[in-house]
Amino acid sequence: MAETLNVKNLGLRGVTVADTKISFIDGEKGVLIYRGYRIEQLAEESSFMEVAYLILNGHLPNEKELQSFETEVGKERQLPEYVYEVLKKYPEKAAPMDVLQASIPLLAMSDPNLHEETREAHVKMAIRLIAHIPVLVAAWYRIREGLEPLPSDDALSLSENFLWQLHGKLPDEEMARDLDTCLVLHADHTFNASTFACREVVSTRAHMYAGVAAGIGALSGSLHGGANAQVMKMLLALESEKNIDRWIKNELNSGGRVMGMGHAVYKTMDPRARFLKDMAARLGRKTGQERWHDLSTQIEKCGLEEFKKRGKTNIQPNVDFYSAPVYHIMGIPLDFMTPIFAMSRVSGWCAHIIEEKFAEAQEKPALYRPKAEYVGQYCGLSGCTYEPIETREDRVTEE
């Protein structure tokens, strides 16, 4: 009989479900590695295009490889015309993450490689998704604001072009470079909820777009990627708060969470948060908006003290804590912060989908099928007595 592990109702914490060659986290030491390389070095020296190539292909590109990857991504920016028509029909108030998730199957419908079961075809789809998502996000922003989406500018990098298509003006070079670094920092993170969702979906042999749509759904939640928008809401609400200490105490006493703090794997400060904290300070100085960094550090300090008093020293800032002020300074609207996370993480999702489908880290592909313990009504194996609808008793409902 197969061994039964008692790991239920824990959100799979600490359960190893598969092997992966894509990324590695040491949660105690605060280390994140993509394909062998430390995140700090990648953030300082690499571009998002290099990192996306690395994650998808398993090695850093040489100059020729990088150039050809950038050209391929650049060529795929144009969305099919029908996607714009559908975007224009979505309700004005539609959440950007819902729009993004709903639009992924639209893109699938015209992908020429959709049903080709080769690695090469999957890399082509990944390139299309990496190119399309920023264009989609910016297009939805313009449409929602009653503006026409802007054509992409081939001379611009992915990050520059995104800021241009969003704001309609050429971005400051330093800011675009910083956004690119944000994309490097968010590109992959082992078996987080959205990546696991992607892998689970494609383990059924569903196509890459079905996996990515699932990933976007998982990312939208406020305990995952949606946390950055919640952090920004908190910062805006606390802008003129004099007593941060008291606010945190009240929040925790009433069962609330300090968004952007705590992590399922990191038990120390998230290495990505260190980078974003410095970036928020630098961009704040540059734009005269130091207050967001200052307020964030104040919340961090008070939060750490309060958690310590409660015996929870391992709840520390995560990636979303300082990405929120960074994006705000960049002029990214609050509800577009999580889509930026998706713009980057799609590279990791696609790499994991490829790894899952082609069993690149295990012997053969395996359909995910965990067990659940049934704790509901049970009348034995012959089942409960089925009452015809006419004879079922009225249920008393309390007012």
Catalytic residue IDs = 263, 320
Q: Mark the segment that binds ligand COA (CB under 6 A) among 59-67, 144-152, 256-264, 365-373.
A: 256-264
Q: Could you tell me the CA-to-CA distances from 353 to 197, 305, 311, 347 in Å, in that order?
A: 10, 41, 39, 10
Tokens 């941060």 — which residue?
244
257 binding ligand COA? (CB under 6 A)? yes
257: how many CB neighbours lie within 10 A of its CB? 14
> Site residues for ligand COA, window 306-345 (CB under 6 A)?
312, 315, 318-320
Question: Whose Cβ is closer to ligand COA: residue 200's or residue 270's?
Answer: 270
How many residues contact ligand COA, by CB under 6 A? 17
Of the candidate spans 39-47, 53-61, 107-115, 261-269, the one that interacts with ligand COA by CB under 6 A turns out to be: 261-269
Burial of 393 (0-12, 13-18, 19+ CB in 10 A): exposed
Structure tokens at 390: 């006419």
Residue 199 or residue 263: which is nearer to ligand COA going by CB? 263
Which CB atom, from 164 or from 266, has the smaller least distance to ligand COA? 266
Q: How far is the CB of 29 from ligand COA (least distance, A)?
A: 17
259 near ligand COA, judged by CB under 6 A = yes
Structure tokens at 113: 């490689």
Least separation, in Å, of the C-beta of 340 and ligand COA?
Answer: 14
Give least dist CB 23 to ligand COA, A. 14
Show the site string, 164-203: x = touches ligand COA by CB under 6 A, - = not.
----------------------------------------
Nearer to ligand COA, 88 or 309 (CB): 309
- Which residue from 76, 264, 298, 368 is in contact with ligand COA, where contact means CB under 6 A? 264
- Give the per-residue contact string, 224-243, with ligand COA (x = CB under 6 A; - = no): x--x----------------
Give the residues lining the site for ligand COA (CB under 6 A): 223-224, 227, 252, 257-264, 312, 315, 318-320
